Chain A
Amino acid sequence: MTDYRRLRTQAGLADLQAWTRFELVGPQACDALDAVVGGNVRDLFEGRAANTLIPSSSGGIEAIVWVIALPENGYRIVGEPEDGEAVGRALAQSVAGRDAAIRDIRDETFALALIGPEAEKVAWKAFGDEVHSIAFLNVMPVGDPAVLAARIGYFGEYELHLFGEIERKQSIVDTLGKAADGDPLVVGDGALPTMMTEMGTLSRARDVPPDVSVFEAGLQWMIDFRKENLRSAEALEHEKRAVHRKCVLMVVDGNASDLRRQSVFIEDHELGRIQSAFDSETLGRSVALAYLTEELAIPGLTCVVGPARRRGETVSAPAFLGRSILENLG
């Protein structure tokens, strides 16, 4: 069984050690964080998580992050591996002059993600009934000694992200392995980009070129435009009225290996280009994210892609509903 199939049909444990993790603490930590991210941190209560982004000075995206509110004016900021420097720099600038402190905790903590339709069952066997009380976007300690468990999501299945001291990583992996009744649980990270793309979940590093605005990427929902201290507010307001292309999910015939940067056409009219593409085992075709001219960046079009003129379609995201979601819908 492939890692992908395991994550979509059973449960797998992905090691996200390389992902960015910062801790922000202090009486003015909320002010410092709220001045950096687009979301409204002041409305984020302890034990809750929010998906937001750090706008760039030009109205683009410096990083896509999860913000987790912890007790005693504490926050954890989680992001993609490539964005550690940008997140650290933005937070350090905001903390300066405020009663708050920032710490890069990537090396001293572990980050694991238990993913899949059977993942909640595995977590329950490992940590007990309290796992069932962690609703989506909620965060709480589980186990004894406790690790931080967060129901945040990238892949369209049940996901439980676990954070703790690096010394405890192997014992947590072992505990979860036993809870999986001996089934191989640990997976590589190779299937994760495919799963993100199938759901239309964007990676800043992979899917958002530097000259693409928040609005062209379709991530303006991560921003509270009524915040008085909104970072890059003027640039964002300008970009709102200057959308020339939009990110669209596509399904394309054949394999994904040579789709990146390929042009997308209707008849001989070029609509834009594929940004990233992966082979989807579920669909038996490729899934891709493309930036297409704003006028025609809509689902429901049949296009041709690249010089081989492969057939493709623009579709609504997600490309399909994961088993965890379908079972939840009954």
Chain B
Amino acid sequence: MISTLAEARAHAARRRELTHRLKETLVERLDLDRRTDEIPDDCLLFGVGLGLDSVDALEIVVAVESEFGIRVEDDDMKEIRSVNSIVDLILSRQTPKEDAR
């Protein structure tokens, strides 16, 4: 639970770095015609939002696994819905040491 200002700032810095890396990864791997600052953190990836499809979903899984060193299981697919939800997934799987690489 993050409930002090110092913890919140540390969490925000870590999360911001992960979010930026994820957006860069999505833009590069999916060849998106957008800059990272044109993708809101809560932007949905499929349908409305970025308008991605099921083929893109598989590419996202591969990209997240290789870029962030986590394993994405079938049950995790429901978390692949927005930049924020993927960052939530990465944070839940990464140890601070892994994230620092």
Residues of A participating in the B interface, judged by any CB pair closer than 8 Å: 51, 136-137, 153, 200, 215, 218-221, 223, 225-226, 240, 246, 249, 266-267, 269, 295-296, 298-303, 316-318, 321, 326, 329
Contacts and interface: CB of A to CB of B under 8 A. Distances in A.
Given A249-B42, A300-B2, 14 more contacts: A137-B47, A218-B40, A218-B42, A219-B40, A221-B38, A225-B38, A267-B5, A269-B5, A296-B9, A316-B85, A317-B42, A317-B84, A321-B81, A329-B78
9 closest Cβ pairs, A-B complex: A218-B40, A316-B84, A302-B3, A317-B42, A221-B43, A51-B48, A316-B85, A136-B47, A267-B5
Nearest to A225: B38
A218 to B, nearest CB: 4
B44 to A, nearest CB: 8
Contact of B88 (A316, A318, A321): A316
B8 A266 contact: yes
Contacts of A301: 2-3, 8, 11
B55 to A, nearest CB: 15
Contact of A300 (B15, B37, B40, B77): B15
B27 interface: no
B58 interface: no
Given A298-B15, A299-B84, A300-B11, A316 B42 contact: yes
17 contacts: A137-B48, A153-B47, A215-B40, A218-B42, A219-B40, A220-B40, A221-B40, A225-B35, A240-B37, A266-B3, A296-B12, A299-B88, A301-B11, A302-B1, A316-B84, A321-B81, A329-B78
Contacts of A218: 40-43
A289 B38 CA distance: 21
B16 interface: yes
Nearest to A269: B5
A136 B46 CA distance: 10
A170 B33 CA distance: 45
B50 interface: yes
Interface in B11-60: 11-12, 15-16, 33-35, 37-43, 47-50
A326 B75 CA distance: 12
Interface of B: 1-5, 8-9, 11-12, 15-16, 33-35, 37-43, 47-50, 77-78, 81-82, 84-85, 87-88, 91
B77 to A, nearest CB: 7
A296 B47 CA distance: 28
A266 B5 contact: yes
Nearest to A199: B44
A316 B78 CA distance: 13
A219 B2 CA distance: 27
Contacts of A240: 37
Contacts of A226: 33
Contacts of B82: 316-317
Contact of A298 (B4, B11, B78, B81): B11
Of B5, B35, B87, most buried by chain A (CB within 10 Å of CB) is: B5
Contacts of B91: 300
Contacts of B4: 266-267
Contacts of B37: 215, 220, 240
Contact of A221 (B2, B39, B78, B81): B39
A266 B5 CA distance: 6
A244 to B, nearest CB: 15
Contacts of B77: 329
A266 B85 CA distance: 23
A326 B37 CA distance: 30
Contacts of B11: 298, 300-301
Contacts of B47: 136-137, 153
Of B5, B16, B40, B43, most buried by chain A (CB within 10 Å of CB) is: B40
